[in-house]
Amino acid sequence: MLFHVRMDVRLPHDLPQEEAVEIIAREKAYSQELQRSGKWRHIWRIAGEYANYSVFDVKDNTELHEILSGLPLFKFMHIEVAPLLRHPSSIRGDDT
């Protein structure tokens, strides 16, 4: 199943710098591992914001929830999820 996910990161202003750097490094490694596996298919930064639009290709809602809740920055995020289906007018038959 494909899911469109918007993630907005809201780091607390009083979070110690060294802790923020460490969490962000773990987040990058985790997200890149998921990208290599094909589960995190696309990630796009939203200009001017600490946010992204992403597309996930996972088995079901449960797997998506497990992936998102495993993000090191999860507790600092506001996340919106929308399931995606192929549009009947799409000319691309190979992207399910």
pLDDT of residue 92: 80
Question: pLDDT per residue over 41-61, tens digit each?
Answer: 999 999 999 999 999 999 999
**How many angstroms separate the CA atoms of 89 and 75, rounded?**
38
Q: Does domain 2-84 have CATH number 3.90.1300.10?
A: no
- pTM for the structure as a whole: 0.90
What tokens were used for 96?
């399910």
Question: pLDDT per residue over 63-92, tens digit each?
Answer: 999 999 999 999 999 999 999 998 889 888
Name which of 43, 47, 95 is nearest 67 in CA terms: 43
Question: pLDDT per residue over 6-42, tens digit each?
Answer: 999 999 999 999 999 999 999 999 999 999 999 999 9
**How many angstroms separate the CA atoms of 18 and 25, rounded?**
11
